[in-house]
Chains A and B, each alone.
Chain A
């Protein structure tokens, strides 16, 4: 089975449709699928619902899909650092569903693992809990959150092989392994496609079963908060 493609555009061929739901890996601008986001912008797919912890910044990451008004709804935990996002949200152009970060990660994990819902203490007594089922376990109250199953997952890894096995690097892992599992189709962009068999099977983070398409791309890896100490 051929999983490798030559570019984001090629890898996205035939999987995009207006109104679809996309789950994206990344935290801030770290470990984001830069090439796939640009590829979706170029394809012009609209009315997207995007589940991602953040929405990038104005001119990079998912922010570029907001600039081009391709996003109808964001499911995110943190949208600071993005003025265009704030503007579209406050003017009512963009729907926003705030999810606590851990709830969002678990919703992706659950969706990918065939678990339609789970109970969590996170958000009990806050606006997040409004309208959700409450249930007590051992004297503590929990709320029901639903798993996310997306039409497409877009993730970024460090290395991958032709079988789709992925390895992430440092904190660029973040939501990527969870997002990878919850898409009906998952496309991974990697810094390097290595020969199958060269990754240590014991050290693979995302097994190839979750990855349908993979390609190698260049990455700008923009840094949001360059913070240094005196050397």
Chain B
């Protein structure tokens, strides 16, 4: 049995370190906030200009002036601070954010990341992703191991335009956890019931020991 979205998010939660500032991307990465381990205190950054992001609001708490980077309504905490976009990316580029957890379309074995456009098809933009991967301490990708056609998203080389070159440190997929190392990807952990043979079958990237 491969991991589901929540199990992938829970696994990513175990990468969080006490006392750090962390940026969570849109989609499965957002779910990681539900799985911050007991005793680990992290402050979530939202790159539109907020540190100390709280949970989604109740109907009564909705405030149009308070959204996250995915444009979803959210709430503040006692520790919250707000700042401009230039200050926000100053702390990102300046290396103050320990970790970013992002989704991806493709990751290559050398750590290249593609998650912002499909030429001719999907033109949405990179938002803050290029700044994040260039600036934060560690970059962890959470994504399905294969695309809807069943093709590996862990590649020898990305085919889509890059978000960053050699920026990914670790990848959490529904099949396991992979670390970017010299020469390829190292399997750190397999999801319960997933065999190495299944992983080899579904991975284009070079797997190293």
- Among B147-167, those with CB < 8 Å from A are 161-166
| Chain B residues whose CB sits within 8 angstroms of the CB of A231 once the complex forms | 58-60
Binds A, one of B1-9, B41-49, B173-181, B185-193: B41-49
Binds A, one of B10-18, B120-128, B199-207: B120-128
Whether B123 contacts A105 by the Cβ 8 Å rule is no
The answer to whether residues A221 and B85 also contact, given A125-B162, A171-B46, A174-B48 and a CB cut-off of 8 A, is: no
The count of chain A contact residues (Cβ–Cβ below 8 Å) is: 59
User: Binding site of A, secondary structure by majority: helix, strand, loop or mixed?
Assistant: loop
Whether B71 contacts A28 by the Cβ 8 Å rule is yes
Whether B56 contacts A171 by the Cβ 8 Å rule is no
| Chain B residues whose CB sits within 8 angstroms of the CB of A175 once the complex forms | 84-85
Binds B, one of A35-43, A65-73, A77-85: A77-85
| Chain A residues whose CB sits within 8 angstroms of the CB of B93 once the complex forms | 102, 120-122
- Judged by a CB distance under 8 angstroms, whether B86 is at the interface is yes
| Chain B residue at minimum C-beta to C-beta distance from A98 | B125
The answer to whether residues A105 and B65 also contact, given A227-B72, A229-B58 and a CB cut-off of 8 A, is: no
Shortest distance from the beta carbon of A150 to any chain B beta carbon, whole Å: 15
| Chain B residues whose CB sits within 8 angstroms of the CB of A225 once the complex forms | 67, 70-73
Kindly identify which residue among B88, B125, B131 contacts A103, using a CB–CB cutoff of 8 Å. Answer: B131
The docked-state distance in angstroms from the alpha carbon of A223 to that of B63 is 9
Whether B131 contacts A100 by the Cβ 8 Å rule is yes
Render B97-139 as a binary contact track against A, CB cut-off 8 A, 1 for contact: 0000000000000001000000010011111111100110000
The answer to whether residues A171 and B65 also contact, given A122-B93, A122-B135, A125-B164 and a CB cut-off of 8 A, is: yes
B-side residues, CB < 8 A to A, are 46-50, 55-60, 62-68, 70-74, 76, 82-86, 88-90, 92-93, 112, 120, 123-131, 134-135, 161-166
A-side residues, CB < 8 A to B, are 27-31, 53, 76-81, 86, 89-90, 96, 98, 100-106, 108-109, 120-128, 158, 168-178, 205, 221-231
